[in-house]
């Protein structure tokens, strides 16, 4: 982090180079924090977007784009026609100063953003409003595991002969576990006959860092509805109960299907709180 030591006596040499150093010190820090939430274009604050039959309006706020924090001035536009879309335009401005030697330069620089209607384009000075994301998207991406962990499932024929893979990964920002997969019961007639006391079968055990502090129930879904009947003999049941307990066991309440069905499979995809 850039920093000046201003405690020395003798008169600090306030030069253009040192002023530029100060400017870099705060812009680098500001942009580093902003990039935590995504590379942009991102809404940092304000910029409430309202769409109606008369057009689009956006309130005052700040956005981050191309490594810069930019003030957005409240604006509104009508309904786009033809190939036009609602665009965010970044408009530079400058104020000239007279230097000690009499030279005049545009030295005070600023940028502000507003709205326009134009064909879609992404440049250094404009982008479609629809591409704006709330600040924090990057935080979500960087605080979850990029790849899936996996456990291969293979149970005995007596326990349904289940095969397949359970995939899982953690989101550290939300402290949640996502678990998904497809399991195939190859010997489905070996499951215990369906009843109120139907047992849960252990499919896998998760590592300690992926275990919830409270038991979490979810459903596995079969794409077919002809395997199980309700109490009046109608085949429509698609789901089975699933559970991850506080011991990390992944359990499935497999059901014994119609006598003519020898096998079936279950899909699942669930996000589970870990606390």
Residue 253 has which token pair? Answer: 């309440």
Average pLDDT, the chain: 89
| Structure confidence at residue 67 as a pLDDT band (50, 70, 90) | confident
pLDDT tens track for 109-155: 999 999 999 999 999 999 999 999 888 766 666 677 889 999 999 99
> Would you say how long the chain is, in residues?
275
pLDDT of residue 105: 94
Give mean pLDDT, residues 62-89. Answer: 95
pLDDT tens track for 76-86: 999 999 999 99
Counting Cα atoms < 13 Å in the Cβ hemisphere of 68 gives: 14
Q: How far apart are CA 25 and CA 32, in angstroms?
A: 11
pLDDT of residue 27: 82
Question: Do the beta carbons of residue 267 and residue 220 sit within 8 Å?
Answer: yes
Lowest average pLDDT, out of 6-10, 48-52, 102-106, 141-145, goes to 141-145
User: Is pLDDT of 265 > 60?
Assistant: yes
User: Is pLDDT of 96 > 60?
Assistant: yes
**Quick one: how far is CA 79 from the chain centroid?**
30
pLDDT tens track for 154-203: 999 999 999 999 999 999 888 999 999 999 999 999 998 866 667 899 99
Number of H helices, E strands in the chain: 2, 18
Domains and CATH numbers, the chain: 16-141 (no CATH), 143-273 (2.60.40.1830)
């Amino acid at each position: 982090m850039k920093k000046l030591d201003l405690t020395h006596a003798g008169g600090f040499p306030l030069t253009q180079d040192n002023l530029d150093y100060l400017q870099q010190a705060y812009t680098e820090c500001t942009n580093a924090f902003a990039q935590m939430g995504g590379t942009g274009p991102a809404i940092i604050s304000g910029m409430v977007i309202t769409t109606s039959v008369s057009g689009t309006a956006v309130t005052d706020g700040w956005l981050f784009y191309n490594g810069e924090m930019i003030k957005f001035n409240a604006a509104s536009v009508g309904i786009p026609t033809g190939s036009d879309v609602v665009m965010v335009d970044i408009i530079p401005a400058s104020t000239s100063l007279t230097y000690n030697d009499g030279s005049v330069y545009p030295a005070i620089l600023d940028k502000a953003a507003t709205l326009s209607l134009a064909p879609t384009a992404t440049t250094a000075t404009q982008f479609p409003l629809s591409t704006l994301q709330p600040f924090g998207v990057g935080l979500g991406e960087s605080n979850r595991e990029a790849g899936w962990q996996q456990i291969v499932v293979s149970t005995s024929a007596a326990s349904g002969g289940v095969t397949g893979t359970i995939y899982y990964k953690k989101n550290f920002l939300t402290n949640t576990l996502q678990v998904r997969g497809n399991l195939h019961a190859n010997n489905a007639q070996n499951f215990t006959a369906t009843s109120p006391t139907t047992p849960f079968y252990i499919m896998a055990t998760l590592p300690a860092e992926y275990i919830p502090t409270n038991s979490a129930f979810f459903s596995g879904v079969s794409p077919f509805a002809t395997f199980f009947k309700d109490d009046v003999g109608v085949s429509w049941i698609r789901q089975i109960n699933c559970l991850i307990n506080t011991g990390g066991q992944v359990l499935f309440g497999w059901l014994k299907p119609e006598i003519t069905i020898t096998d079936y499979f279950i899909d699942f995809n669930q996000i589970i709180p870990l606390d």
